[in-house]
């Protein structure tokens, strides 16, 4: 079977799932089949139901970093120099407007 390099959000999700060791046998077969069909260009993207399923399993297995704040979770340390640099940058933006200007 001829396979093409596919670089879509769907294929990235499927590759993450197929490479993970946490899938059940049925899920692994289904997701690898979906990925091979995408690579063979049998279809361009997943259907909405397929995508919901893939995203749900992706989140369930903890493969989705989402909007995780690495600093507040303690996984990343911010130095005082970086904090000072951020405060300096925010100072250049000017005061925060609380309401739109009058007419």
pTM for the predicted model, two decimal places: 0.57
Contacts of 32 (CB under 8 A, 6+ apart): 18
Q: What is the pLDDT of residues 32-81, one digit of tens each?
A: 899 888 888 888 888 899 989 988 888 888 876 665 666 776 777 888 88
Q: State residue 49's pLDDT score.
A: 93
Q: State residue 7's pLDDT score.
A: 66
H or E, element range at 16: helix 9-19
- Domain map of the chain by residue range? 9-60
Residue with tokens 């007419």: 103
- C-alpha to C-alpha distance for 33 and 55, rounded to whole angstroms: 16
3 pLDDT band (50/70/90 cuts)?
Answer: low
Phi, psi of 37 (to 5 degrees): -65, -40
Q: State residue 64's pLDDT score.
A: 67
């Amino acid at each position: 079977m001829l396979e093409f390099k596919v670089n879509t959000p769907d294929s990235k999700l499927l590759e993450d799932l197929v490479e993970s060791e946490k899938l059940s046998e049925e899920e692994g077969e289904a997701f690898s089949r979906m990925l091979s069909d995408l690579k063979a260009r049998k279809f361009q993207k997943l259907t909405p139901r397929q995508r919901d399923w893939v995203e749900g399993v992706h989140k369930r297995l903890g493969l989705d970093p989402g909007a995780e704040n690495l600093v507040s979770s303690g996984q990343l340390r911010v130095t005082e120099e970086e904090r000072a640099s951020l405060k300096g940058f925010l100072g250049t933006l000017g005061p925060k407007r609380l309401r739109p200007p009058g007419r």
